[in-house]
Amino acid sequence: MAFNFFENRGYAVNVLYSSFSHSLKKYRKLSNNKFISLETISYKSSFSLKRIISYLIFAYKVFKFLGSNKFDLVYINLPPNAIGLSVLFRKNSYTKLIVDIIDLWPEAFPTNNSLIKNTLLYFAGILPKMIRKRIINYSDFCIAESNFFQKQLNLDNKINSKVIHIKKFQKFKPNHNSLSSDMSIVYLGNIGNIYDFNSLFSILEGVLKKRKVTLHIIGLGPLKNWVIENLNAKKINYFYHGATFDEKLKEKIISNCWFGYNGYKESTEVALSYKSVDYLSFGVPLINSAKEDTEYLVNNENIGFNFNAKSLDSLIHKLSNICIEDVCNMKRRSYEIFKDKFSEKSYLFEMDSILASLKKSIDK
């Protein structure tokens, strides 16, 4: 998204990316010659030493690349925080740095174990937090993905900072008239450890006592087989569609669903997710446990239901008794919220305001 924005504004843009895809867990090569692949090592587990080493290799190669090329502006996503450190070491007085905080790490580490959280994770997180703070302090502009991140990082005290919610460029309007006759719920994205699938199983089992419900799964991840085994054991009807980045195919599957599942483990610090924006872009309301920004929108904008994993009865009752007319109203409102807060139009307006504040020092 940032690539298209800067290129459309007349800048010569290069994108540095890892040859190994974290989400797909395999090597990939992008066809655009402006996207430059940096070779790293593969890893199977998201929680492994090899993943850390892979990120460190990538950070070092970013450092080398920036050392042999001149840039007026560097735009980086954090985490991994090591990449930002490599940029700082190469930052010249003429180079402007925009930092986009898309996740909090190590705060987002999914664990309810107080020993891990209060001891091991606390001490392991000291260095990454120090690096992140230094990068933010030396940046020329800092973007936070959510109001929650802005608050957690104390960015209210940084003049050159802004909250820009996750955005999605979408050229077509979803078909709001398409809706399955029986309740259907979609799960989109990584099938990984930070997501609360146990609550999803309980919700589906509870609704099944009163009405038919089908789960659609679009994605891959280390827990895929475990999730499918549980669905089979609990006799929950589902369709597994695999992973796809085809927007038209996603629309065909997702827009027909009643709700999109946006459930996270309680220990995960998530306020806004890419999957929730994807759901809203197809006019699909949320079953949500993410905090702060998303929780507020769901509560105040009639775009689904919030839930707490410790108390699912209220949600199950609402889903068991909701009528199609109410779902259709939620679907229409969900797409309106997407256009207002997460669309290309809102992104361009916000990014243009950032560029305007940096433009005099970028242009020679």
- CB atoms near residue 356 (< 10 Å): 9
Residue 36: pLDDT above 80? yes
Distance CA 85, CA 135 (A): 7
**What distance lies between CA 99 and its chain's CA centroid?**
16
- The H-or-E segment that residue 143 falls in is strand 141-144
Report the distance separating Cα 344 and Cα 171, nearest Å.
9
Amino acid identity, residue 211? R
Q: What contacts 24+ positions apart, CB below 8 Å, involve 32-40?
A: 34/3, 34/7, 35/3, 36/65, 38/62, 38/65
| Half-sphere exposure in the Cβ direction for 92 (13 Å, CA) | 12
Condensed to tens digits (0 to 9), the pLDDT of residues 173-182 reads 777 666 878 9
What confidence tens digit (pLDDT) does each residue in 301-355 have?
999 999 999 999 999 999 999 999 999 999 999 999 998 888 888 888 889 988 8
Exposure string for 207-244, b = 16+ CB within 10 A, e = fewer:
bbeeeebbbbbbbbbebbeebeeebeeeebebeebebe
DSSP, res 303 = S
Output the pLDDT for position 120: 62
Percent of the chain surpassing pLDDT 90: 46
pLDDT digits (tens, 9 = 90+) for 270-313: 888 889 999 999 999 999 999 889 999 999 999 999 999 999 99
pTM of the model: 0.73
Dihedral, 64, 66, 69, 74 alpha carbons, nearest 10: 170
Q: What is the pLDDT of residue 25?
A: 85
Contact 103, 74 (CB under 8 A): no
